[in-house]
Structure 1
Amino acid sequence: MSTSQQQTGALSGARTPQWVRALPMLLVVVDLTAEYAFSAHIAAGFPLAVLPVLVAFGYGPGAVALSTVGAVALQGLMAERVGHLTEQHHLWIYLATALAGVLGAVLAWQRIRQAHDLVQVRSVAEALQRTVLHPVPPTSGGLRTAGLYRAAQAEVPIGGDLYSICETRYGTRVLLGDVRGKGLDAVRTVADLLGAFRAVADETAHLNDLADLLDRQLQRVAGDRDDQELFATATLLQHDPATGHCLLVNRGHHAPLLLGPAGVRAVDAPEQLPLGLGGLSAAAPAAPADFTLEPGHTLLLFTDGLSEARDPSGAFYPVAERLATLPGTDPDRLVAALDEDVRTRCGLLTDDLAILALTPLGPAPDAPSD
């Protein structure tokens, strides 16, 4: 079998439920049963006229053609069995079945073509996501890292949330944020911000200066688009791998949460205006929050897709409260448990979601020992 034939076969059955693919055989079995049980009272071959259409929903044009020939043959055998092979209404049903076969073949071809186009679109979208949102590395500098990104629209892999982790001469720098708006404009803003962050993260000594550069970049984007309400909330983190010393700048975003043996607490930093709105304040930026990320502790950064998820009663997801009940502080396990917990409590999420978990390199404190 050629590669193209294999792809066609795979696409013809792609995302088709098994019960749909079983319907043609079920119809044949029911029809034959009816033929032998009630042949004196019903024209059991007539329902076989829909067989090619049923086949078209689960198989390719070749299978539709074979099912059409088989359906007409069975109809003829059933009609011959009771002496009605050439009666006018039977001749018309043979013709109707043949026409259904032609329409079914066209339907199957169109379905496979759309499936192929969808595969290509998804491939492009996944490549775009990997280009704009680089995969979270397992380690960066002195940190073990894990992340989760889920766009609100399942068919669009990128939304208005963003993250990036860069190793620089000043330590590991992390950006996590949320752009105002949705759709393609939000994706363009995300790409602009991430590109600017990656370009200057290793060239800017002070974290507040880095935030100001991103602020001005977003102001330029807003001017180019004539959108004076464009902004992004963001958290910027800098981690020194030698000492565990961290600096944190909060530009209108949720305070990160620090998990450790003593429980869960927020890492408060002086809250500044979101990126893109810095020009509204003449005050000098406050100094970044200063803390140490110690072994056995994990820092969790997240967007409001997590904190503003609602359960069926309308209550917000209590992030800190739920974190206290989840197992350990290993980044991968923590992110996976948090993802499962929020979807269990809140069901389908309606906003973009981004989560980063960071912990100092070394054995995970909750990892099972050999």
Structure 2
Amino acid sequence: MRTQWALRWLPFMVMIPVALIGLLAGPSLGFLPLLTLGPSFGSVYGSVQRTAMIGLLALAICIPLAYYNGLLLKWQNNLTIATIVCATGASMLVSHLRLKRERELANVRLVAETAQRVLLRPVPRKAADLQVALSYTSAAAEARIGGDLYEVVTTPYGVRLLIGDVQGKGLDAVETAAWVLGAFREAAYDEPALDDVSERLESSLARHLSGEKFVTAIIAEVREEEIVMLNHGHPAPFLISAGGEAVPVEPPDEGLPLGLGPLGTDRPKAHRVPFRQGDQILLFTDGVVEARDDSGAFYPLPDRIRLLRSNEPQAALDALRADLITHTGGPLPDDAAMLLLRRHAE
């Protein structure tokens, strides 16, 4: 907001001091040519008409000051007027091209965001004996289209879920997320073992990804009294007991992200964690813990887990999201997805 305010008023912040100096100092300093900065700066913000009006304002300042200083109709002032006119015309062209480009980018972004919303379909609010809450916060304008992904499905083998983050941004990341989600939705129903679901995703990405691109992810399956997880290089989730104690669920061994399987043999090992009545588990992408405030401090998620004690999971997660945005003081630099599972209490 401050940047937009500065860009909006920058032409006037330049022309007004130039006018005052020209009025007080007289013709000796020759500041009038600097009025061309007004329309030049005006082209970076606002419409073509606004840029033209700033150019007319520069002329409206230049001509009376030239008359006041006895320079009217002299070649120096005629050159200044011609320069202002030419600068205004060029700035109007730049403004037109900028607005055209902004409209094109807005249309592309709208199509991509629509595709992303279709891709990331709403998760069920209830699955078996679980209450499910979701929060997805888009990033700043220059990184709005990201590769955060999530899914919750009820299968013959129990409730299975996925949360992940594709390396990179833009349409390529959305396309990769589509591959991962498509493979997961099929494998989650077909494969009885969670390790086989992971292998299916790895095989799918091996056909799709090139170079060293990857996807960090957690694949999980909720069972009676426990949750089983495979962590592919993703931030560890937080398990919150019915009593309110929160602990990070670190994997026993570091596992490679999806897509890097051919580079090594460090496949993640499934680890079981007690998940009983009244317990909650919060899964999230790195856009949450890497969000910074104005001083550069990361978001202190462990200290904010207390916000999830609300009786209603979605209200609790919404409160956590609001606190995250308050911490950054504005748009996030990266997408931030959070998935909260709560097991029904007795």
Match of 1:54 among 29, 32, 41: 41
How far does the alpha carbon of each residue in 1:326-356 deviate from its partner, in whole angstroms, 9 at most, with x for none? 56254543465378469959x9999875431
Does the 8 Å contact 1:255/1:269 carry over to 2?
Answer: no
- Unaligned ranges ≥5, structure 1: 1-13, 363-370
Which residue in the other structure is 1:85 paired with? 72
Match of 2:340 among 354, 357, 362: 357
* Post-superposition offset of 1:94: 1.2
Give % identity.
Answer: 27
Give 3-state SS (helix, strand or coil) of 1:66's partner: helix
Q: 1:215 to 1:309 in 2, by over 3 A?
A: farther
Give 3-state SS (helix, strand or coil) of 1:85's partner: coil
> RMSD over aligned Cα, in angstroms?
4.7
Give the letter for the 2:309 counterpart: G
Does the 8 Å contact 1:302/1:353 carry over to 2?
Answer: yes
Which residue in the other structure is 1:158 paired with? 146
Hey, what's the Cα distance between the residues in 1 that align with 2:140 and 2:55?
A: 43
Hey, what's the Cα distance between the residues in 2 that align with 1:58 and 1:317?
A: 33
So what's the TM-score if we normalise by structure 2? 0.71
Which residue in the other structure is 2:320 paired with? 337
Q: 1:144 to 1:61 in 2, by over 3 A?
A: same
Which residue in the other structure is 1:366 paired with? none
Give 3-state SS (helix, strand or coil) of 1:260's partner: coil
- The count of residues paired between Structure 1 and Structure 2 equals 333
Is residue 2:243 matched to residue 1:261? yes
Give 3-state SS (helix, strand or coil) of 1:129's partner: helix
Give 3-state SS (helix, strand or coil) of 2:150's partner: strand
* Within-5 A mapping of 1:111-130: 111-130=98-117
* Post-superposition offset of 1:317: 8.1
Give the letter for the 1:261 counterpart: G
* Post-superposition offset of 1:194: 0.6
How far does the alpha carbon of each residue in 1:54-89 deviate from its partner, in whole angstroms, 9 at most, with x for none? 322223222222333343343223223344321111
Hey, what's the Cα distance between the residues in 2 that align with 1:67 and 1:350?
A: 34
Does the 8 Å contact 1:178/1:232 carry over to 2?
Answer: yes
Give the letter for the 1:195 counterpart: G
Is residue 2:284 matched to residue 1:302? yes
Give the letter for the 2:88 counterpart: G
Which residue in the other structure is 1:322 paired with? 303
Hey, what's the Cα distance between the residues in 2 that align with 1:63 and 1:342?
A: 34
Hey, what's the Cα distance between the residues in 1 that align with 2:291 and 2:39?
A: 46
Match of 2:203 among 219, 227, 245: 219
Hey, what's the Cα distance between the residues in 2 that align with 1:33 and 1:351?
A: 45
So what's the TM-score if we normalise by structure 1? 0.67
Which residue in the other structure is 1:176 paired with? 163
* Within-5 A mapping of 1:13-24: 17-24=4-11
* Within-5 A mapping of 1:200-215: 200-201=187-188, 203-204=189-190, 206=192, 208=193, 211-215=195-199
* Within-5 A mapping of 1:86-105: 86-105=73-92
Q: 1:41 to 1:117 in 2, by over 3 A?
A: same
